[in-house]
Amino acid sequence: MADVARRAGVSMATASRALSNHPHVAAATRARVLAAAEQLSYVVSPEASRLAGGATGRVAVVVPHISRWFFATLLEGIESVLRDADLDVLLYHVGDAADRRDFFQRLPARRKADAVVVLGMPVRDGERERLETMGVHIVAAGGQVEAYPYVSIDDASAARQAVDHLLFLNHRRIGMIATVDPAEPHWPANPGRSRAYDEALADAGLPADPSLVVTVPWGSLHGADAMARLLSLREPPTAVYAHSDEVAFGAVRTLRRAGLRIPEDMSVVGIDDHPMAELADLTTVAQPVRDQGVLAGRMLLSLLAGETATTGVTVPTRLVVRGSTAPPRR
Amino acid sequence: MADVARRAGVSMATASRALSNHPHVAAATRARVLAAAEQLSYVVSPEASRLAGGATGRVAVVVPHISRWFFATLLEGIESVLRDADLDVLLYHVGDAADRRDFFQRLPARRKADAVVVLGMPVRDGERERLETMGVHIVAAGGQVEAYPYVSIDDASAARQAVDHLLFLNHRRIGMIATVDPAEPHWPANPGRSRAYDEALADAGLPADPSLVVTVPWGSLHGADAMARLLSLREPPTAVYAHSDEVAFGAVRTLRRAGLRIPEDMSVVGIDDHPMAELADLTTVAQPVRDQGVLAGRMLLSLLAGETATTGVTVPTRLVVRGSTAPPRR
């Protein structure tokens, strides 16, 4: 490698990066290095180049929330795989918009990690460009990030399972409690989970009624408020589909306080199969959260081993029928 | 430092620890090292010793659970402080007994971090000795680890607040749902939270009745089972104190299923003020979880800056009275 670098007139680091197809090496430089390598019959071993390139043995995991069940469970899944592979996890929390700007501006993980995992958050174009300047593999889990290999559920299909269940039970007036991320309140409510509701109603020949859709920040207490708004309608729904179980728990509290019975007076369905959903006897669409972290970790190990990435893995969701849904009485 | 260690007849690590006022250096050893240092006119500069030790800019955070709210919230607190100080977080999950043995045996964080934070778990003697061979500062959060500077609640005092509340309401037959860690089922149920129950009853002149104490692995569904066992007694309690809110949620489910009213037929009190406790209208003893992580982070920054450590900080807990407790009807 030293001979190659000398002959090409570049540093060892540049020669190494050029030979390992590292992005962000100028084309002319790369050509000069490759020519020198050919003249010297230098053989590139991916394993050796990884070692020579100074693999850090660390993976940066970027999360928008740590204490929320979904994100913590994804993190637990990915940590288990990386630990088994003797890779260390560097944890970066990008909470609110300011944190986030700062993270993508400073890129604190740069040169400290062999790869980046983005957990449960969309990545905007400008952010993507910044991430890519790190020149390492990037994988997403718990959300479709089209630009990178990802592991995710199909949000639209999960939502469709929830709403189709209510339609099958013969509900015709179905409310939706949609959620936005409190840290990013100006982003649209989960588009897949909202769109599927519109489509399912349209497919069933039901009119769209905007008064049946309430959008709130994520969280159980907001779910309670949203349910109160639906109960304040002249003609409330007979069933409610919530974007997540945690929001559905809040809706259930409001119904109980109002003296309404579940499912006799109102059906409620969520998405996730949160650990409390079984306890609350909540019908929901289950997603395998820990598994998404595990699969993303394995995907990352393949990439680090030089294998070609699949573009994305969609894990299946399934309806779990419990006691919170039944046909409408009226 | 090598000269000091040689003259004192100890290892470099011991000499370093003695000079940095690290706890757990025998007084005689410390005196010998200090004498050697004086003879050699060795000047200890905390900053230099940190640099000489090769500051990594990283802190290892060791957690027994990631996806459980309490641990994830502690982690979120400590991460925020370390991030603001431009320190990276290396996350290590020690789950079951095998993980745990492996972690303390291999010490994967050794030479990779400037300090170790142990979150919400007791550290046994043998484990402590292993940790200390890392030769870095150690701080504990979310649990009293007497050997290290810690931030914690006083478990006995929190438990006492819960049980005294039930006694004040005039309950005389009070059950306890005690919990053990499912990953460490052979460890005793949280000793502080159990002992305070015994003491409160004794102080109130009530006899100890072992049939009123049910011990289960941590978790809501286990709490549901435990409540069923209390309901199977010939004379069930009129109130139940649960070691944690998540366990209390399970107890509430069983009571509901049995058609019993809360608080009219049975009072329930937990500990934690879990985010769902407000929603469930559960009386509880609140502890500031995120703050414990934040305070531990600040404590660590002081130690890294060469300041002397306080031995421990106990954060206060407070009773939050909601709708799940009332005087007994009978």
pLDDT tens digits, one per residue of B147-174: 899 999 999 999 999 999 999 999 999 9
Q: How confident is the model at residue A46 (pLDDT cuts 50, 70, 90)?
A: very low
Chain B positions touching chain A (beta carbons under 8 Å): 58, 61, 65-69, 72-73, 75-76, 79-80, 83, 86, 88-93, 95, 108-109, 112, 220-221, 224, 249-250, 253, 275-276, 278-281, 290
Q: Is the pLDDT of residue A1 over 90?
A: no
Tokens of B24: 């757990």
- For CATH 3.40.50.2300, the residue range(s) in chain B are 56-153+289-314, 155-286
pLDDT in the model for residue B27: 77
Mutate to test the interface with A, among B66, B106, B107 (most CBs of A within 10 A): B66
Max mean pLDDT among A114-123, A141-150, A318-327 falls in: A318-327
Tokens of A141: 């889990």
Residue with token string 């703050």 = B291
* % of chain B exceeding 90 in pLDDT: 73
Q: Rounded distance, CA B23 to CA B17, Å? A: 8
Please choose, from the candidates A252, A241, A238, the residue with its C-alpha nearest in 3D space to the C-alpha of residue A177: A241
Q: Is the pLDDT of residue B85 over 90?
A: yes
Q: Rounded distance, CA B156 to CA A208, Å? A: 56
Average confidence (pLDDT) over B24-35: 79
Q: How confident is the model at residue B247 (pLDDT cuts 50, 70, 90)?
A: very high
Q: Chain A: give the shortest CA distance to residue B174, in Å.
A: 24
Average confidence (pLDDT) over B286-295: 97
pLDDT in the model for residue B23: 64
Please give the CATH topology (third level) of the domain spanning A56-153+289-314: Rossmann fold (3.40.50)
Q: Is the pLDDT of residue B95 over 60?
A: yes
Instruction: Report the mean per-residue pLDDT for chain A.
Output: 90
Q: Is the pLDDT of residue B2 over 80?
A: no
> Cβ of B279 and A249 within 8 Å?
yes
* % of chain A exceeding 70 in pLDDT: 93
Strand partners, B178: B215
Instruction: Report the mean per-residue pLDDT for chain B.
Output: 90
CATH top-level class of B2-44: mainly alpha
Q: Is the pLDDT of residue A157 over 90?
A: yes
Q: Chain A: give the shortest CA distance to residue B73, in Å.
A: 5
> Cβ of B93 and A83 within 8 Å?
yes
Give backbone dihedrals phi and psi of A272, rounded to 5 degrees, phi first: 130, -45
Q: Select from A58, A67, A83 the Cβ nearest to the Cβ of B72.
A: A67
Q: Kind of pairing, strands B283-286 and A239-242?
A: unpaired
pTM flag (> 0.90): no
**Secondary structure (3-state) at A239:** strand
Q: Is the pLDDT of residue A33 over 90?
A: no
Q: How confident is the model at residue B25 (pLDDT cuts 50, 70, 90)?
A: confident
- For CATH 1.10.260.40, the residue range(s) in chain A are 2-44
Give backbone dihedrals phi and psi of B261, rounded to 5 degrees, phi first: -95, 140
Q: Is the pLDDT of residue B48 over 60?
A: no
Report CA B295 to chain centroid distance, whole Å.
Answer: 13
pLDDT in the model for residue B119: 95
Contact A126, A316 (CB under 8 A): no
pLDDT in the model for residue A48: 41
Q: How confident is the model at residue B54 (pLDDT cuts 50, 70, 90)?
A: low
Edge-to-edge, what's the strand order for the sheet holding B239-242?
A: B213-217, B174-180, B239-242, B267-272, B283-286, B318-320
Q: Between these two residues, A185 and B291, which has the higher pLDDT value?
A: B291
CATH top-level class of B155-286: alpha beta
- pLDDT digit string, tens, across residues A59-101: 999 999 999 999 999 999 999 999 999 999 999 999 888 888 9
Q: Rounded distance, CA A119 to CA B104, Å? A: 28
Contact A238, A211 (CB under 8 A): no
Q: Is the pLDDT of residue A3 over 80?
A: no
What is each CA distance from B289 to A52, A66, B1, in whole angstroms? Answer: 43, 13, 40
Q: Rounded distance, CA B46 to CA A253, Å? A: 55
Q: Chain B: give the shortest CA distance to residue A66, in Å.
A: 6
